Amino acid sequence: MLIIMGLDSPRKDIDKVKQKIIELNCTPHEIPGSSKLAIGITGPTHLLKEEDFQMMPSVQEVVRVTKKFKLVSRQMKNENTIIEFDKHTIGGKELCIIAGPCSVETREQTFEIAEQLKEMGIILFRAGAYKPRSSPYTFQGLKEKGLEILAEVKSKLGLKIVTEVLNSQSLQSVAEVADIIQIGARNMQNYSLIEEIGSLQKPVLLKRGMAAAVEDLLLSAEYIAAQNNFNIILCERGIRTFETATRNTLDLNAVPVIKQWSHLPIIVDPSHGVGIWDKVPQMAMAAVACGADGLMIEVHHDPENALSDGYQSLTPKKFKELLSKLNELAPIVNKELKLYEHAVSL
Amino acid sequence: MLIIMGLDSPRKDIDKVKQKIIELNCTPHEIPGSSKLAIGITGPTHLLKEEDFQMMPSVQEVVRVTKKFKLVSRQMKNENTIIEFDKHTIGGKELCIIAGPCSVETREQTFEIAEQLKEMGIILFRAGAYKPRSSPYTFQGLKEKGLEILAEVKSKLGLKIVTEVLNSQSLQSVAEVADIIQIGARNMQNYSLIEEIGSLQKPVLLKRGMAAAVEDLLLSAEYIAAQNNFNIILCERGIRTFETATRNTLDLNAVPVIKQWSHLPIIVDPSHGVGIWDKVPQMAMAAVACGADGLMIEVHHDPENALSDGYQSLTPKKFKELLSKLNELAPIVNKELKLYEHAVSL
Amino acid sequence: MLIIMGLDSPRKDIDKVKQKIIELNCTPHEIPGSSKLAIGITGPTHLLKEEDFQMMPSVQEVVRVTKKFKLVSRQMKNENTIIEFDKHTIGGKELCIIAGPCSVETREQTFEIAEQLKEMGIILFRAGAYKPRSSPYTFQGLKEKGLEILAEVKSKLGLKIVTEVLNSQSLQSVAEVADIIQIGARNMQNYSLIEEIGSLQKPVLLKRGMAAAVEDLLLSAEYIAAQNNFNIILCERGIRTFETATRNTLDLNAVPVIKQWSHLPIIVDPSHGVGIWDKVPQMAMAAVACGADGLMIEVHHDPENALSDGYQSLTPKKFKELLSKLNELAPIVNKELKLYEHAVSL
Amino acid sequence: MLIIMGLDSPRKDIDKVKQKIIELNCTPHEIPGSSKLAIGITGPTHLLKEEDFQMMPSVQEVVRVTKKFKLVSRQMKNENTIIEFDKHTIGGKELCIIAGPCSVETREQTFEIAEQLKEMGIILFRAGAYKPRSSPYTFQGLKEKGLEILAEVKSKLGLKIVTEVLNSQSLQSVAEVADIIQIGARNMQNYSLIEEIGSLQKPVLLKRGMAAAVEDLLLSAEYIAAQNNFNIILCERGIRTFETATRNTLDLNAVPVIKQWSHLPIIVDPSHGVGIWDKVPQMAMAAVACGADGLMIEVHHDPENALSDGYQSLTPKKFKELLSKLNELAPIVNKELKLYEHAVSL
């Protein structure tokens, strides 16, 4: 349930509403919009009555949310959620580009790629220090050592860091380095971890699980929002179907569906989605054309020798060509590719 | 197997090669390109030896085709197949747009929509006279009466007709009206019908089945090509997955895969693909952005009262807005939206 | 809608009800049960009112059918449909076993297998004369010649023939030989063909399509029932999923679902379902354990040299071992394995 | 890679082999069989040469393992792994039955069901104290309180406890109560947690993820085996497909596949697999018929008022009927339903 109040409602009226919600064994969540203030309610809301709130001072409207997910639904908040980083944003007009190698392999490899990306104007750098791998015998990431390298990339090059966390034990150290904490597809329903990450109040990149319906993805996001953390970026990265021509089936249909059902930003990872580098640029273009707020793309300067997922990585050269095409495409879908401003002078 | 010869090879050399293929119990297919002539060979090719052909006059090269599909593979013919209609083409630079209602419902409804589309410059008009329906108790199309209406649209408005055929019995009468004969998703593995349609040598629009891998689709196309009919337009229209947020899962990944594996044009039907009109424009844009040669879109002037699939049809107004966006997008992916030239003067 | 009358209702009362249905632009279907007579109604039944029939003589009850499929639903007819063949039945207590090679390859191969099966007491012999194949370059069956061989098996050995029909053109000749006409998975939504086969009033074996939900299968069966042909045997043969460890994913869950939703018999084809011979016996046992009315199993005396699907065929020896296990299992699920009575004396 | 030695090889020969493996930067795993001792090798085994070991004393054979999973593969250990509990076993001749409610709801409810099950002779009791739920607003289990109730069931009734762990934080307290620690489908690829659980050396019940291929399941099991913990029970519980007639698609094909690929026991959970109680008995029978080593079944004395998954729970009465049918079925597939011996005297 949702209580709509004026943005300029007196604090005492707002607190009275929140107090009443708590008395009724539910939890209030303040969700400020540009013209209204919404108080989202979660908990056993089926026990609440609209009349309990309709006559309270400053209350303009009481709305039932029909979806299973509440706080992340478009019904709860009509305006797009926009996440801010210094001068940059995700979820608004700006097209967000996250790029980098699958894994931190060595200090040299990481800096090599990070520097090339910075030169192109990229702001958000991705690379895994902890890697979830289906076999225990394959490269599992440099772990702590990898985080140290990422911290150095951050301090020396000024790039923002997006990196995955696999468990509670390493969450603190990942959170110290990461500007955006990534939850991978395999952990999309690891609710314990999600809740714990959500409670840190840092931006979270939540990837769709391989067998997750869009509704499931939004319910997982709800676990984060229920911690009063709305800094959530959803990520479509391919689902499992019978088709074997591509590694996964990138489900771009999820983009307009999520835009309709939720106020959260949605980006697309075509690298995992198709799993073969030579089809990544086409699917990246398609993702933006259907309304994605951004892209997450694997870039490696030496794909053949990458320790993980090399076959789905673009070379910096191919990636630059893609950026140039995206720059042409963005304005057609009312987006803007805003690259790091001193890019050329590096 | 594939025999590459010079384009200007003497006819007697070509005939000698074809004669030899026939003697070896295989079938030759002449596939002329812009600089070379290829003789495709189908049948028990594992019995053939490269040496049988390498020394024959005018033969430049002998190539094994490794895919299960042969004549439709990119290995067999490197250049894109371009299908020509008067001054228009499918598979080349021109972006092909097929539009119209799901079904012919009445003469009035059909002309109403067709006239509006013609005014927008649309050349290819789609509408079903025969409708395959999962329940025997729902509207099955106007059948012969529907074909008559389509024939009138063709003669009076000069539009080209795309319409589906369901069986051998009505093939002749469909073929008289249709400029492009459509094979629906449910019949993609009805090989008897496909072969019979293929043998008519008319352009065929082959829709991907709901559980068909891209390889299966190309193998079905191979049944048509094996009749020496290369006028084949493939169509992605959504596959069946666990996701229920959309009617089907439009698999745009198939577009770059098909572009790599085959020389045939591939178009996309976002109306069936997502199944909800308000997500059709986004997916149409995405389809073109990832390299599709065209679109097939359902348009109805009164969707709420459509006899079939109204909820996935765009109104003419929405469709026109989409055309305008596509016109902006096309040049970025090296395509051109060429509409009917006297559009405005109608 | 369904009109329930006494079994001994006077013919004139029955005819009066049927007459009224026709007047209301719907179609009546007599469905006799063991204690009641039901008149099923199809067509625009939403226009009918219960009151139209309730007061008519001999009418006991008027029932709405809520499923999309009507005549084949358990609501329409509570008792199991039992199909009779001489002294044998499908859909009752008897466990039906259909066995034989994928294809008729030669007269010798067919007789070799048929004779061994007859010796084991098998009554229903399967073998394809027309084979739908995903590639146009693989063996497509002996066609007319194959039917002749099957006719000879029938006349000489007295086996009943189950064989697939692919198109309208060959339907007449298939129907002359076949005791049960098979519609393959690829043609499950080829409604033209299904309707035509249904109208012949012969038993039909309808295989589930690879992407067909149980509801779709029952809707296809409804096309046959709407021809007043209730001799329909449904067949589960595996669906397409992401799992590649087996050729298809045999969906045994469909068996109890169909038993609940429909009165039609359901058999299982584990050979196509798992696609690897060494897992066929286990899945055959499972099928019977969960309530299937029978099995359809590929048997070949020389699987390595079979022209199609050899890797999923049991040898006669393995098949005999399976029969012996099935014989132990059947009584536990209230079935009986009734083999050809003079089996041993052959 | 695998080194086969005699069971009675001198310890010094065994140690020499293990020493050599360690020198080559790999890890040795002793896997004793009934007639041979195998030393499994994991790590960068592609660097090892057969010749390094072939001539060492007591070594009989050196074998390459071709599957991605190694220690859990049938190649590595030909005999079935049998897990022992007092006088009972899982993976051998005994058919293992795990039963109980989805969740611990109250002390009364838990004892009510546990006592009825004990009376029927059930030894392994399942109930969740921690429940992973797709929505944050649904019942998440009684947590610590639930574990206390389970501990009481264990001490008072002598039942063995099977219960799920969701995270590292509660692992220690779950492990104190649980005789078998369950890893749910949603955590099948939560490798951090799996590894940590595996290292406890207690029996682990590993459920297949909804989008996990059998190979993925075995690779997850490999994470446990790599901790030298072979007490692993695999569990098939349904995968996600397009079919919506059942909650999931119980994939019984996985049973014979796993029996062929791995030496680990495999049980089946038909309650989650079909998700509707009235189809659970049929699928339970089918699971045993195709070779499963056991079943995990939800039983609730008051399903309509269960706090989770009531619609898929059997009543004790229905469950008892199923036990009786399983008792008839077991010997046919060479199994034995061994219930708690003092069952009747309780």
In a shared domain, residues A46 and A129: no
Q: pTM for the complete prediction?
A: 0.92
Q: Among partner residues A136, A186, A226, which is closest to D136 by beta-carbon distance?
A: A226
Q: Of the ranges A44-48, B166-170, B334-338, C138-142, which one carries the lowest mean pLDDT score?
A: A44-48
Token pair for C298: 């590929």
Using CA coordinates, name the residue in chain D closest to C240.
Answer: D241
Interface contact C192-B222, CB threshold 8 A: no
For residues B240 and B343, give the distance between their C-alpha atoms in angstroms, rounded to a whole number.
38
For residues A182 and A199, give the distance between their C-alpha atoms in angstroms, rounded to a whole number.
14
> Is 50 exceeded by the pLDDT of residue D346?
no
pLDDT band at B346 (very low <50, low <70, confident <90, very high): very low
**D147 backbone dihedrals φ, ψ, rounded to 5°:** -65, -40
Q: Of the ranges A3-7, A194-198, A241-245, which one carries the lowest mean pLDDT score?
A: A3-7
Report DSSP state, residue D56.
Answer: S
C223: chain B residues, CB-CB within 8 Å? 136
pLDDT for position D341:
55
> Is 50 exceeded by the pLDDT of residue D345?
no
In a shared domain, residues C90 and C55: no
Percentage of the residues of chain C whose pLDDT score is greater than 90: 78
- The CATH number given to whatever domain includes residue A47 is 3.30.70.1140
B234 close to B267: Cβ distance less than 8 angstroms: yes
Q: How far is A238 from chain C (nearest CA, A)?
A: 13
Using CA coordinates, name the residue in chain C closest to A247.
Answer: C242
D50 CB neighbour count, 10 Å cutoff: 12
For residues A161 and B208, give the distance between their C-alpha atoms in angstroms, rounded to a whole number.
42
Token pair for A326: 């995206």
For residues C152 and A275, give the distance between their C-alpha atoms in angstroms, rounded to a whole number.
54
* C266: β partners: C234
Number of separate domains in chain B: 2
- Pick from C207, C128, C186, C196: nearest CA to C162: C128
pLDDT per residue as tens digits for the range B193-209: 999 999 999 999 999 99
Beta strand segments in C177-259, E:
180-183, 204-207, 232-236
Mean pLDDT of B86-102: 94
Report DSSP state, residue C86.
Answer: T
pLDDT band at C45 (very low <50, low <70, confident <90, very high): confident
Q: State chain D's maximal CA–CA distance in angstroms.
A: 67
Element (DSSP H or E) covering residue D273: helix D270-274
C302 Rama sector, left if φ>0, alpha if ψ -120 to 50, beta otherwise = beta
Q: How far is C77 from chain D (nearest CA, A)?
A: 20
| Residue D334 touches chain C, beta carbons under 8 Å | no
Q: How buried is B236 (Cβ within 10 angstroms: 0-12 exposed, 13-18 middle, 19+ buried)?
A: buried
Q: Among partner residues A211, A214, A283, which is closest to B253 by beta-carbon distance?
A: A283
Q: Is residue B179 part of a domain?
A: yes
Token pair for A224: 């984060």
For residues C297 and C126, give the distance between their C-alpha atoms in angstroms, rounded to a whole number.
9
pLDDT for position B154:
97
> HSE of A29 in the Cβ direction (CA atoms, 13 Å)?
21
* A236: β partners: A268
Using DSSP, state whether D314 is helix, strand or coil. Answer: strand
Report DSSP state, residue D227.
Answer: T
Mean pLDDT of C245-264: 97
C155 CB neighbour count, 10 Å cutoff: 10
Mean pLDDT of A264-273: 97
Percentage of the residues of chain A whose pLDDT score is greater than 70: 98
In a shared domain, residues C172 and C123: yes
Which of D15, D35, D63 is the last residue before a domain boundary? Answer: D63
pLDDT for position B345:
34
Which of C170, C191, C217, C248 should we substitute to test contact with B (largest number of B Cβ atoms within 10 Å)?
C191
For residues B204 and B171, give the distance between their C-alpha atoms in angstroms, rounded to a whole number.
12
For residues C287 and C269, give the distance between their C-alpha atoms in angstroms, rounded to a whole number.
9
C190: chain B residues, CB-CB within 8 Å? 167, 186-187, 190, 193
Q: How far is B291 from chain A (nearest CA, A)?
A: 7
Q: How buried is B175 (Cβ within 10 angstroms: 0-12 exposed, 13-18 middle, 19+ buried)?
A: middle
pLDDT band at A299 (very low <50, low <70, confident <90, very high): very high
B121 CB neighbour count, 10 Å cutoff: 18
Report DSSP state, residue B129.
Answer: S
pLDDT for position B341:
56
- Concatenating the DSSP letter of every residue in B60-87 gives EEEE---SS--TTBTTT--SPP-EEETT
Alpha helices in C121-246 (DSSP H): 144-157, 168-177, 191-198, 214-225
In a shared domain, residues A328 and A239: yes
Q: Is residue B257 part of a domain?
A: yes
Mean pLDDT of A73-86: 91
For residues A183 and A189, give the distance between their C-alpha atoms in angstroms, rounded to a whole number.
10
Interface contact A240-C242, CB threshold 8 A: yes
In a shared domain, residues C49 and C89: no
Interface contact B211-C210, CB threshold 8 A: yes
Rounded alpha-carbon distances, angstroms, from residue D129 to D144, D145, D197: 7, 8, 17
Residues 6+ apart with CB under 8 A from A160: A85, A123, A124, A125, A154, A179, A180
C330 close to C288: Cβ distance less than 8 angstroms: yes
A53 close to A20: Cβ distance less than 8 angstroms: yes
Higher pLDDT, C32 or B174: B174
In a shared domain, residues C203 and C268: yes
> What is the torsion angle, in degrees rounded to the nearest 10, for the CA atoms of residue B135, residue B139, residue B140 and residue B145?
170
B290 close to B335: Cβ distance less than 8 angstroms: no
pLDDT band at A316 (very low <50, low <70, confident <90, very high): very high
Place of tokens 């693989």: C138
Q: Is residue A300 part of a domain?
A: yes
The most confident of the ranges A53-57, B27-31, C278-282 is: C278-282
- Concatenating the DSSP letter of every residue in A85-152 gives ETTEEESSSBPEEEEE-SB---HHHHHHHHHHHHHTT--EEE-BSS---SSTTS----THHHHHHHHH
A85 CB neighbour count, 10 Å cutoff: 15
Element (DSSP H or E) covering residue D280: helix D280-289
Q: How far is B266 from chain A (nearest CA, A)?
A: 14
Chain C neighbours (≥3 Cβ pairs under 8 A) are A, B, D
The most confident of the ranges A328-342, B219-233, D61-75 is: B219-233
In a shared domain, residues B39 and B167: no
- The CATH number given to whatever domain includes residue D111 is 3.20.20.70
What's the whole-number average pLDDT of chain C?
93
pLDDT for position A193:
96
Q: Is residue A53 part of a domain?
A: yes
Mean pLDDT of A217-233: 96
A264 close to A91: Cβ distance less than 8 angstroms: yes
> Is 80 exceeded by the pLDDT of residue A344?
no
Q: Is residue A23 part of a domain?
A: yes
Mean pLDDT of A82-110: 95
> Is 80 exceeded by the pLDDT of residue B247?
yes
Q: Among partner residues B68, B168, B193, which is closest to C135 by beta-carbon distance?
A: B68
Token pair for B7: 């384009």
- Order the strands of the A36-42 sheet from edge to edge: A27-32, A36-42, A2-6, A59-63
In a shared domain, residues B56 and B155: no
Q: Is residue A246 part of a domain?
A: yes
Token pair for A158: 């000024």
Place of tokens 């009226």: A13
Q: Is residue B70 part of a domain?
A: no
Token pair for C230: 């209730």
In a shared domain, residues C110 and C55: no
**B93 backbone dihedrals φ, ψ, rounded to 5°:** -75, -30
pLDDT per residue as tens digits for the range B121-172: 999 999 999 999 888 888 899 999 999 999 999 999 999 999 999 999 999 9
Residues 6+ apart with CB under 8 A from A328: B332
C197 close to C204: Cβ distance less than 8 angstroms: yes
In a shared domain, residues A50 and A128: no
> Is 70 exceeded by the pLDDT of residue A346?
no
In a shared domain, residues C26 and C172: no
Residues 6+ apart with CB under 8 A from B300: B101, B102, B113, B306, B310, B313, B314, B315
Using DSSP, state whether B112 is helix, strand or coil. Answer: helix
The one-letter amino acid code at D118 reads: K
Higher pLDDT, C63 or A217: A217
Domain assignment of residue C40, given as a range: 2-63
Q: Is residue B221 part of a domain?
A: yes
Residues 6+ apart with CB under 8 A from B7: B32, B33, B34, B35, B36, B37
A88 close to A293: Cβ distance less than 8 angstroms: no
For residues A62 and A28, give the distance between their C-alpha atoms in angstroms, rounded to a whole number.
13
Q: What is the b/e burial string over B176-197, where b = at least 16 CB atoms within 10 angstroms of the residue's CB?
A: ebbbbbbbbbbbbbbbbbbbbb
The length of chain A is 346
D243: chain C residues, CB-CB within 8 Å? 213-214, 239, 251, 253-254
What's the whole-number average pLDDT of chain A?
93
In a shared domain, residues B44 and B107: no
For residues D198 and D337, give the distance between their C-alpha atoms in angstroms, rounded to a whole number.
28
Token pair for C275: 């696609």
pLDDT for position B112:
97
Q: State chain B's maximal CA–CA distance in angstroms.
A: 67
